[in-house]
Structure 1
Amino acid sequence: MTSSAADAAPRRPTVAVLGTGIMGSGMARSLLRAGLDVRAWNRTQAKAAPLAADGATVVETAEEAVRGADVILTMLNDGPAVAAALTAASPGLRTGQVLLQSSTVGLDATADLARRAADAGLVYLDAPVSGTKQPAEQGTLTVFVSGPSTARASVNPVLDAIGQRTVWVAETPGAASRLKLVVNTWVITMVNNIAECLNLAEGLRIDPQTFLDVMRGGPLDSAYLQGKSAALLSGDLTPSFSVSNALKDSRLILDAAQESGVRLDLVAASADRFARAEAAGHGGEDMIATYYAGRAPEKDGD
């Protein structure tokens, strides 16, 4: 008896991607490069349309996207958006499908979505990602996953396509989202630290590049410091992660901290800065635009 290599190869899963913004579109393209079948849906269909040129099947409804899919990957803005997408998709859902929920939605929404998934007979994997636009497009995200390990075999091709590293945190949903909030606390305070250093340099009439040159190559330097500073100083505020999304995540972190009895002064201050930057019209720009929340006001005669 003979068999071909194709006969021996495991079947690649079909993936429904719900949400094709900055992150979702990048993840969809990474899935396509890995040879997976992708159905893409977005509330604003024009955002999903470009994926057709990469080989995705772009559909008009969430129901069409999930019908017959093996894995449903959600990458939407917040918990209500994910819940609304699942409600819209519900006629196309079937028992046993895996819901890989990768949006950052906070702890309460994660618990709510897990309940919704259970009611629909879905296998729920709490799977937020660490990384922004470029890692999403390159398939080099870090994925935190909590949920039943029995689902690993079915989702590993998806996880391998979108990320360079998968961290299985726990067997029950929620643990991955808690870890993501800790990681985002580091990112949020770091980007505001960079912005404040640049604000102070400007206020003290120090060339920001002098500060960056002093830091370069030393123990306190980082690619993040240099990269975010270079983007700001060049005027390129194309969002890898926007001010408005950073504000949303800051509030999720503060909610979780309050529930757990922890005081986070730096995140509270960061949320205030993001809110001021958003109010000044920078909400859709990269989160380093928090710089504009602390920019020294012009003085008479300047």
Structure 2
Amino acid sequence: MDTKLKVAVLGTGIMGAAMARNLLRAGHEVSVWNRDATKTEPLAADGARRAASPADAVEAADVVLTMLYDAAAVEEVVRAAAPGFRPGTAWIQSTTVGVQDAPAVAKLAAELSLDLVEAPVSGTRAPAEAGQLLVLAAGPDAVRRRVAPVLDAIGARTIWTGRTPLKGPPRGSNLW
């Protein structure tokens, strides 16, 4: 299996930009999009392809990573990206969304035939820039293997909390 992937990063604020840079360092082909296009300029200088729209960013992507403001932004941007998705594209959703919003994210993934991995991260700017985030992920086994090179590039450790993104960590665990 080729571990060099085409990855689209939607949202290039502090965390998303750091993730995109680590993906580039790992040798992945990275497309970036941000609502404020000027935030993608430094990433283009590092080798990323600047996309004109979310749909342009995700076209031909093996994996799409979202790191946006909130659940509403996730829905808006992913719907805007919909024309560019291929069925079965892996979607790593790293935006911090509340438990109450997780079902809507899962429903959106199913509607667009995307393979969802919920993957919130723990860490601040310095760990993000160093590729040392802690990733708390949930997703089916087959998708886990497909997204592993991306999670390895952005994090020091990935803790898989379950096979279904909606279920999250086991009851009584201290992961959330």
Q: Give the TM-score of the pair, scaled to structure 2.
A: 0.94
1:124 correspondence with 2:113: no
1:168-187 matches, within 5 Å, as 168-176=160-168
1:111 correspondence with 2:82: no
1:40 correspondence with 2:32: yes
2:136 corresponds to which residue? 144
1:66 corresponds to which residue? 58
C-alpha displacement at 1:94, in angstroms? Answer: 1.2
C-alpha displacement at 1:122, in angstroms? Answer: 0.4
**Letter aligned with residue 58 of structure 1:** R
Cα deviation, 1:197-233, whole Å, max 9, x if unaligned, reads xxxxxxxxxxxxxxxxxxxxxxxxxxxxxxxxxxxxx
* Unaligned segments of structure 1, at least 5 residues: 1-8, 185-302
C-alpha displacement at 1:183, in angstroms? Answer: 5.8
1:29 corresponds to which residue? 21
Structure with bigger RCO (C-alpha 8 Å, 6+ apart): 2
Percent identity between the aligned chains? 49
Q: Partners in 2 of 1:33 and 1:141 — Cα distance?
A: 15
1:145 is paired with a residue whose SS is strand
C-alpha displacement at 1:60, in angstroms? Answer: 1.4
C-alpha displacement at 1:174, in angstroms? Answer: 2.9
Q: Partners in 1 of 2:78 and 2:18 — Cα distance?
A: 21
* Unaligned segments of structure 2, at least 5 residues: none
Q: Partners in 1 of 2:127 and 2:3 — Cα distance?
A: 26
1:286-297 matches, within 5 Å, as none
C-alpha displacement at 1:105, in angstroms? Answer: 0.7
C-alpha displacement at 1:110, in angstroms? Answer: 1.4
C-alpha displacement at 1:175, in angstroms? Answer: 4.0
1:79 correspondence with 2:50: no
How large is the RMSD of aligned CA atoms in angstroms?
1.7
1:18 correspondence with 2:10: yes
Describe the shift of the 1:90–1:169 C-alpha distance in structure 2 as closer, same or farther (beyond 3 A). Answer: same
Q: Partners in 1 of 2:62 and 2:168 — Cα distance?
A: 22
Q: Partners in 2 of 1:14 and 1:103 — Cα distance?
A: 20
Q: Partners in 1 of 2:175 and 2:15 — Cα distance?
A: 17
More strand by share: 2
**Count of residues in correspondence between the two structures:** 174
